[in-house]
Amino acid sequence: MLSVKNPKDFYAGVLLLCVVAVYALGLLDLRIGSLSRPGPGYFPLILTSLLFVFAVAILINGLRTKGEPIGAVPWRAMFFVTAPVIFFGATVKGLGFVPSLAITAIATCMGSTQWTWKSALLTALVLVFFSYIVFIWGLGLPVALCGSWLRSLFLSVGVPATSLNLCY
């Protein structure tokens, strides 16, 4: 009777097999070539096969040897760490550096179970100020302080273009 005795190994094996499947799919489009003319698929084919062997071995380990359970996952932290990062990537151009970073910082603070509005706002303020000094003023990072979306928003409510110099 097969049962998962070592979940850490078992799921690692499963996960790696999923990776193998994705790469196998990608390999379908690639020319393998020969030893004298290795194609773009030559190296990946060797590596994918190797990973397949290792993944199966790890999976079998998970069925045969004893191991510890995986343990609880901090979903809240996971969400509040990754979602703000994605938000930053998605909005740094549109909203601009300052609003995007401020929202990202506030949202990240919520990842802690001990967060409060006061400390989150304060952290965001300090961070935005510090980053502005270091990255925009000091290093000249080429990014708008206030982005193109806000520019169109301001324009649509009648703000004259002449006063929207920092939004582009």
Partner 1 sequence: MRKWLLAAAGILALGISGASAQNYPTRNITLVIPFAAGGPTDTVGRLVAEAMSKSLGQQVIIENLAGAGGTRAAGQVAKATPDGYTLLLHHIGMSTAPTLYRKLAYNPLNDFEYVGLVTDAPMSLIARLNFEAKDLKGVLEYIAKNKEKTSYANAGIGSASHLCGMLFQAAVKQQLNTVNYNGTGPAMNDILGGHVDLMCDQTTNTTGQIKGGKVKAFAVTTKARVKNLPELPTMDQAGLAGFEVAVWHGIYAPKGTPKDVVAKLTDALQKALKDPKVIESFANLGTEPVPQDQATGAALVAKLKTEIEKWRPLIQSAGVYAD
Partner 2 sequence: MEFFSEIGANLSLGFSQALTPENLLYCFIGVFLGTAIGVLPGLGPIATIAMLLPITFKLEPISALIMLAGIYYGAQYGGSTTAILINLPGESGSVVTAIDGHQLAKKGKAGLALFTSAVGSFFAGTVATFLIVAFAPILAQAALSFAPADYFSLMLMGFVAAVVLAQGSLLKALAMIVLGLLIAMVGPNESGAPRFNFDSPEFSDGFDFVALSMGVFGLGEIIRNLEDEKTRQAIRSKWRDLIPTKAELKEMAAPILRGTALGSMLGILPGGGAMLGSFAAYSLEKRMSKNPQEFGKGALAGVAGPESANNAGAQTSFIPMLTLGIPSNPVMALMLGALIIHSIIPGPKVVTERPDLFWGVVTSMWIGNFMLLVLNLPLIGIWVKFLTIPYRLLFPAIVAMCCIGVYSVNNNPFDVFTMAACGVAGYILYKLDCEPAPLLLGFVIGRLMEDYFIRAMRLSFGDSSVFFTRPISLTLLIVSAVALILVLLPAIRKKREEAFAE
Computed from CA positions of residues 18, 23, 27, 33, in that sequence, does the dihedral angle turn out positive or negative? negative
Query: Binding of partner 1 at residue 30 (CB under 8 A)?
Result: no
Q: Which stretch binds partner 2 (CB under 8 A): 75-83, 148-156, 160-168?
A: 75-83
Query: Binding of partner 2 at residue 164 (CB under 8 A)?
Result: no
Provide the mask over 115-144, with x wherever binding to partner 1 is found by CB under 8 A and - wherever it is not.
Answer: -------------------------x-x--
- Closest CB 143 distance from partner 1, rounded Å: 10
* Number of chain positions touching partner 1 (CB under 8 A): 17
Query: Binding of partner 1 at residue 165 (CB under 8 A)?
Result: yes
Q: Residue 146 and residue 153: Cα distance in Å, rounded?
A: 11
How is 126-159 classified by DSSP, letter by letter?
A: HHHHHHIIIIIIIT-----SB-HHHHHHHHHTT-
Q: Which residues pair with 146 in a beta bridge?
A: 167
Among 70, 125, 153, 155, binds partner 2 (CB under 8 A): 70
Please enumerate in sequence order all residues whose Cβ is within 8 A of that of 118, keeping only pairs 6 or more positions apart, or say none.
none
Q: Tell me how many degrees the CA angle 28-33-34 measures, rounded to the nearest 5.
A: 140
- Closest CB 30 distance from partner 1, rounded Å: 13
21 binds, among partner 1, partner 2, none (CB under 5 to 8 A by kind): none
